[in-house]
Amino acid sequence: MSVPRGPVDSSRVPRFAGPATFARLPRLDEVEHADVAVVGVPFDSGVSYRPGARFGPSAVREASRLLRPYHPGLDVSPFAEMQVADAGDIACNPFDIREAVETVEEAASGLMEGGTRLVTIGGDHTIALPLLRAAARRHGPVALLHFDAHLDTWDTYFGAEYTHGTPFRRAVEEGILDTEAVCHVGTRGPLYGKKDLDDDRRLGFGIVTSADVMRRGVDEVADALRQRIGGRPLYLSIDIDVLDPAHAPGTGTPEAGGLTSRELLEILRGLVGADLVGADVVEVAPAYDHAEITSVAASHVAYDLIGLLALKEEK
């Protein structure tokens, strides 16, 4: 087995120089095979309020320059355990959402050939649907932990079926989720009506609100989530607005009362041992992100996801 090619050595090349890839990792075309590929999807035509997440992948990559190769919270050096590479961006039609969804699905499926697992940086949450389709092609219906301020199980927006508020309803309808093991984490804020919760429950989702995390604590929440998903193939979808605007102002639909970045990272670290098969981090909109707070948080979330995949590789 060849030794993985890791990031550029920061003791020789300053962090503000060198490649603009995620964590200054090699490009996918520079390695023979990638166990994990970080891929961007600069698409935000499915948003219902503030646009700008099409610039999320480049902002998160820029913020990731400060990441270091050893993860003390997970006790793993992920870039040494497996080959991680940056696959660049999936270019989508910004004027045709249906076509964009098909493009992401086909591109993601192609990248996953040979067993590569994806950590995807969005882009708006519309892209979760085609990514879940690609994951289900390979693994069958998957368990889902959805970290978000919002449910994203609404039926339509302005008559449109494919938006950032509808991906998980479509996923349930298409049979690509294991509805015995699906849960929202961090939800909060006003809804259109109580029917939103009734519909969501009917689709099979459990809910752990941000207030639940505050009252129960991250260890208890992580344990409950592990019990819910069991040993099923797991997909993690993380809307950065699960964080409070104090921790993630650069997003399209901020809601007060969210998780801290520390709570989110600790819940993710509590999922060690799960059969993680793919993940996304979405809705980073750098135009609203003063001091790169949101991009930094998202880069660390992506790093933790890679760390979880590396620990799975060790087993």
Helix (H) or strand (E) holding 97: helix 97-111
- 132 within a domain of the structure (yes/no): yes
Predicted pLDDT of residue 230: 97
**pLDDT bracket for residue 55 (50, 70, 90):** very high
Give the domain range for residue 251: 22-314
Look at residue 315 and tell me whether its pLDDT is greater than 90: no
Look at residue 314 and tell me whether its pLDDT is greater than 80: no
- 153 within a domain of the structure (yes/no): yes
Predicted pLDDT of residue 313: 76
Look at residue 222 and tell me whether its pLDDT is greater than 70: yes
Would the annotation count 152 as a binding residue?
A: yes
- 26 within a domain of the structure (yes/no): yes
Residues 196-205: tens digit of each pLDDT: 999 999 999 9
Would the pTM count as exceeding 0.85? yes
Look at residue 2 and tell me whether its pLDDT is greater than 90: no
Contact 46, 98 (CB under 8 A): no
The residue with tokens 């699960």 is 242
| % pLDDT > 70, the chain | 99
- 61 within a domain of the structure (yes/no): yes
DSSP string across 63-94: HGGG--S-BTTTTB-HHHHS-EEEEEE----T
Look at residue 228 and tell me whether its pLDDT is greater than 80: yes
The residue with tokens 């880069």 is 299
Would the annotation count 198 as a binding residue?
A: no
Would the annotation count 150 as a binding residue?
A: yes
Residues 97-132: tens digit of each pLDDT: 999 999 999 999 999 999 999 999 999 999 999 999
Predicted pLDDT of residue 312: 85
Residues 135-181: tens digit of each pLDDT: 999 999 999 999 999 999 999 999 999 999 999 999 999 999 999 99
Look at residue 264 and tell me whether its pLDDT is greater than 70: yes
| 315/42: higher pLDDT | 42
- 140 within a domain of the structure (yes/no): yes
List the CATH number of the domain containing 248. Answer: 3.40.800.10
Task: Give the CB-side neighbour count of residue 130, counting CA atoms within 13 A.
Answer: 28
Look at residue 235 and tell me whether its pLDDT is greater than 80: yes
- Total domains in the chain come to 1
Look at residue 8 and tell me whether its pLDDT is greater than 90: yes
- 29 within a domain of the structure (yes/no): yes
- 13 within a domain of the structure (yes/no): no
Would the annotation count 184 as a binding residue?
A: no
User: How far apart are alpha carbons 255 and 56 in whole angstroms?
Assistant: 19
Would the annotation count 86 as a binding residue?
A: no
21 CB contacts (<8 Å, ≥6 apart)?
27, 38, 61, 86
DSSP string across 216-262: H-HHHHHHHHHHHHTTSEEEEEEEGGGB-TTT--SSSS--SS-B-HH
Predicted pLDDT of residue 226: 98
- 146 within a domain of the structure (yes/no): yes
- Over range 248-255, report the average pLDDT: 98
Smallest CA-to-CA distance from 27 within 98, 106, 80, 89 is with 89
**pLDDT bracket for residue 217 (50, 70, 90):** very high
